[in-house]
Every structure is written in structure tokens, then in C-alpha cells.
Structure 1
Amino acid sequence: MTSYHYVTLDVFTERRFGGNPLAVFPNADGLDTATMQALAAEMNYSETTFVLPPRDPANTAQVRIFNRTAEMPFAGHPNVGTAHVLARLGLAGGNVLRFEELAGLVEVRLMHENGECVGAEIDAPQPLSMLGTFGPEEIAACLSLAPEHIVTRNHLPVRASLGVDFVLAEVAPEALGRATPDLAAYRRVAAARDEVGERLSIFFYAADGEGIRARMFAPLAGTWEDPATGSANATLAALRLSLSDAPALAYQAVQGFEMGRESRLALRAWRADDGVRASVGGRCVEMFRGTIVL
């Protein structure tokens, strides 16, 4: 039998019991895919990460990310939290980390305060890609809102990706807090859209001063609501920049307020030679450490 250590932490927050929980297995060598998936389902967090030796020794690690039901090609808060754990355990090997993931190479920059790692900023592995639009009535039904609550003056609800896809929709500020997932509508919309498969993740937001407030529902993937979705926030940042004439933008996002797990994310987007790229960063707080014997 082999022991595997894990660390849990709250990501995109400065206080315990806020942000988005994450479990990290910092030395997962020897675990197969089925066991990783079973452990992620058992942990029951939005995502769990498993750190493996890199295929290329120039990189820091191979990081595999699982939600409750499937492996993810890329995700935001798992990368931020995994980097924080490796730094705290003395396994980072520098202030800039490079994670090999299904969606590509993810660069991570550690954030320090008083000599200690307090969080990280990551660059999404791919430039923005646009994957088609949805009707306001489809998204409104999924969110238990009226079609007029979907704001379309800036963009239609759109499926977009920086390595993992989300449907991004703007809603009226007064509708943000009253939304709730309608599982039947999710199944109906997903069944009509072969390209989304069984994963229909809707990230919806409202303007909040210079920043935004947001929520994310993905009930078909086992996440009724996510307290903080770094990859979706980064994708939105890239989308917002693509709709403007600016060379770059930066702002703050708040998510998870309605769940009692307020999360704060720092977003940046910029124009690069291969398209619009984006990053997301924030702070982390460690919670538990434990061991699983398999």
C-alpha cells in the first residue's frame, strides 16, 4: 500500500472559508487516471489536482486537473492553488513555474509578501477562440431568468475558450442574484448543441463599477455553482478586450458572493501576435493536510 499526501486550500481569497476550495496531491506519481477521478469525486470540490513529473525537464511539473466527473484540459483556480502549494512545500524551484496540461503549457508567477508565497498569477495556455453564439432565451431558461434579463448590447451569449470553453453571458445587475440553475433547461439546451457535449458551463456577469460581479453554473458536470472560476473570468477578460479598441485591460472580479464564499480575482488581457491573451491571479489560504493510503 502507498500513502499519498494532499493539501486543501481556499483560492482567490485572503480568509479561510472564502474563495474556491481545492485539493492538491503534490506527488501523485503512481496514481492511474481512474483512481485520480475517483479521488476527485471523493474530495467533492470543484477541482482536484495531481502533480506528476514533467515530460520535459525544462518545465516544473505535469498537472492533471479533475472535476467531480471528468478531467479538465485547463482551469484557473487549480493552477493558482497548485502553484501556491508547491511553493509552500519548497517544491516550486523558482518564482516562475511552467505546468504541462492537456490544453498546453501554463506559466505561473508566484506572489510573495513578507517573504512568503501568498498566491499566484497564471497565463491561460491559448489565445481567445470564439465558438458560436446562443440565443438569449436559451441562456435565460438555464438560469431561470426572463430573456429580457440577458444583456446583448455588448455581445450575445457566446461560447468561448482560452483552453476550456464556457458560455459567457451578461445579465442585468438586478438579475444576477436571483438566478438559479434549471436542470431541465440545461439538458434541453445541451442536447440541442452537439458541440457542448455533456458539459454546458454558463458564466454570467454584471458590470460593477470598473469591474464585474459574476456567477457560474455547470450542473451537468456536477457543479451546481462555482465560487470562483479563474478560467472563465480570464476568458471574459479576453472577450471584453476583443470587443474594444484598447491594447490591454485590467480589472477586478468578484464571484461567490451569493454562496457566502466571496472570491476576488485580478484579471488582465492583452493583444499578442497570435490573438488576445489573458491572465488571472489571486491569493490563497491553506486549510487542511492529510494522507490517503491506497
Structure 2
Amino acid sequence: MPTLPFHQVDVFSKVAFKGNPLAVIAEADGLDDAAMRAIANWTNLSETTFLSRAQDPGADYRVRIFTPQRELPFAGHPTLGSCHVWLALGGRPKGEHVVQECGAGLVRIRRDGERLAFAAPPLRRSGQVDAELTSRIAAALGIQSSAMRAVQWVDNGPGWIGVLLDSRRALLDIRLNPAALPQQPIGVVAPWDRAQDGTDADYEVRGFMWGGGEDPVTGSLNASLAQWLIGAGIAPKQYVASQGTVLGRAGRVHVAQDGDTIWIGGDVAPVVKGTISL
């Protein structure tokens, strides 16, 4: 029975069980689509990734990203977790940055000590959300439309709409009605009040996915929110976002703009190391 390297890591956290888990299967060149789908369905994590040799000469490795239901062209925490495992298995980048090949193309990843950061992909859709959809979003979140400081399309692939609130407390109090907008991913962000919330982060984020599920820590959402908030002058060029508080997690996303590039960084904690039998 063939076996492949199997790792499970926790992304956007220095310690296990406080970030967003990811399963990574390495040396997956021989796996077909059906096998990858079956494994991702079996792990039952939000994402499972499969590492193989790069097909693009400009990349260091190739990754395919699967949820239990479908394949994704790109996702944030799978990018950082996959890169961590690739490096831990002896991977060495050809150039200054690690270059990941995925369905969305080539993604640059830089190393800052033990922390990794990916270059935020461009937004596919931005700008104002129409009044009717804005009202439906407020109803889904169980808040008044007037409580939303701003509502913007921040879609970098999954279809995100970003909502800015005034207070972290109001954000943490949200109880989503999943039936109201079942197919619309919504990301909500609010500033921390240093007097009330402390100084460990600058913003709080919650990410509501398709079907109303809440994601513990979301790289793609934080990337798109950063492009909006920094671009509009709402947030500084460097900040830390907290996510997962309501779910008992303590995710930390490190955002930094360097020139024209916004980098989305986070720590990765190894949790499980072994093999998977096929």
C-alpha cells in the first residue's frame, strides 16, 4: 500500500489549536483528481492541499487546494501552510521569494524569520454595493444599516463583500442568519479600542462563508480587506488583525504594504506529522 507524507498544521497562530487547521499531502504527483477529492472529503477540514512538482518553470512547487466539496484556485491559509510544509521537507526557493504555482497562477511568498507572508492577489471586483443588497446584508448580520460605516465589494476570487463597523464589541455580538444570504460570503471588520480591547491587535475580523459557516482565520478575506482599508486611507500601511475570537481561536494576521504590494503574513504551528496510506 503506497504512502505519502502527511502534515497537519495550524495557520495564523504560533501555538496549536488557536488558528486555522490545514492538511497537507506532499509528493502528490501521482494522485488523480478523484483521489484528491476523496482525501479532502475524508479529512473534512476547510481545505486540504496537495504538493507536487511545479509545471511552470517560474515556480518552486505546485499546490492544489480542495475543500470537502470542490477545488479552489487560491486560498490564503492553505498558501502559508503549504509553503511551511514544503520548506520543512527541504524545499529551497530558486530566488528571493518562494513562488507557488496554483490555479490562480503564481503567488509570491516571502519569509520574515519564521513567519511567512503572501502577496495579496488583485481584486476582481471592488466598489460600492447597491442599496438593496446592503439592506439584505444588514438583515443577515442582524444589525441596522446605519451601523455599517461602509460596505464594499472586496472580491479576490471567493466573492467577498466587506463591511466596516465602528466597534469590535458590535462585531463580536453579530449572530448571522445563514438563510438570509446563503451564497454570499461576507467579511466584517472593526477597529480595536486600545482602552477596552488591548493592544494585541488593531482590527477584529469575522468571515462568514457560503451557507452561513464562519471561518476561523481567513487569508483571502484579510488580503482583500487590507487592499480596501489601506487603499481608502482607513487603515495604516501596517497593522495586525485578530480573527476567530468567537470560535475560541486567537488568529493573528500581519498586514504590511511594501511599495505596491500588500503582504499577508502569519505564523504556522506544526501539529501532526506522519504518512497517509492510499
TM over 0.5: yes
Equivalence for 1:225: 214
Equivalence for 2:90: 90
C-alpha separation in 1, matches of 2:230 and 2:254: 15
User: Quick one: which of 160, 163, 168 aligns to 1:169?
Assistant: 163
Output the amino acid matched with 2:155.
S
Shift of 1:245: 9.6
DSSP 3-state at the match of 2:228: helix
C-alpha separation in 2, matches of 1:181 and 1:34: 34
User: Quick one: which of 163, 167, 175 aligns to 1:180?
Assistant: 175
Contact preservation (8 Å) 2:123, 2:224: no
Report percent identity of matched pairs. Answer: 33
C-alpha separation in 2, matches of 1:61 and 1:164: 23
C-alpha separation in 1, matches of 2:75 and 2:249: 19
Contact preservation (8 Å) 1:181, 1:219: no
C-alpha separation in 2, matches of 1:163 and 1:269: 21
Equivalence for 1:211: 202
Using the size of structure 2 for normalisation, the TM-score is 0.87
**Count of residues in Structure 1 that have an aligned counterpart in Structure 2:** 267
Equivalence for 1:193: none
1:282 maps to 2:266:
yes
DSSP 3-state at the match of 1:139: helix
Output the amino acid matched with 1:165.
G
Shift of 1:238: 0.6
Equivalence for 1:266: 254
1:103 maps to 2:104:
yes
Using the size of structure 1 for normalisation, the TM-score is 0.82
C-alpha separation in 2, matches of 1:278 and 1:231: 12
DSSP 3-state at the match of 1:85: helix
Deviation per CA, 1:120-179, whole angstroms, max 9, x where unpaired? 111023356416615432112222333333223xxxx22223344311111242321122
Shift of 1:289: 1.8
Provide the aligned C-alpha RMSD in A: 2.4
Distance 1:245 1:263, change over 3 A: closer
Alignment of 1:98-247 (within 5 A): 98-112=99-113, 118-126=114-122, 129-130=125-126, 133-134=129-130, 135-152=133-150, 157-173=151-167, 174-187=169-182, 190=183, 200-209=184-193, 211-220=202-211, 224-244=213-233
Output the amino acid matched with 2:145.
P
Contact preservation (8 Å) 2:203, 2:241: yes
C-alpha separation in 1, matches of 2:180 and 2:234: 36
Contact preservation (8 Å) 2:108, 2:118: yes
C-alpha separation in 2, matches of 1:102 and 1:132: 28
Shift of 1:43: 1.4
C-alpha separation in 1, matches of 2:274 and 2:234: 49
Shift of 1:58: 3.1
Distance 1:21 1:97, change over 3 A: same
C-alpha separation in 2, matches of 1:179 and 1:245: 22
C-alpha separation in 1, matches of 2:68 and 2:75: 14
Distance 1:104 1:132, change over 3 A: farther
DSSP 3-state at the match of 2:87: helix
Output the amino acid matched with 2:215.
D
Deviation per CA, 1:221-275, whole angstroms, max 9, x where unpaired? xx711111111111111111221399x7111100011111110111123664xxx
C-alpha separation in 2, matches of 1:80 and 1:21: 11
C-alpha separation in 2, matches of 1:97 and 1:163: 22
- Structure 2 stretches lacking a partner, 5+ long: 194-200
C-alpha separation in 1, matches of 2:234 and 2:19: 32
C-alpha separation in 1, matches of 2:187 and 2:269: 24
Output the amino acid matched with 1:285.
A
1:253 maps to 2:253:
no
C-alpha separation in 2, matches of 1:229 and 1:119: 16
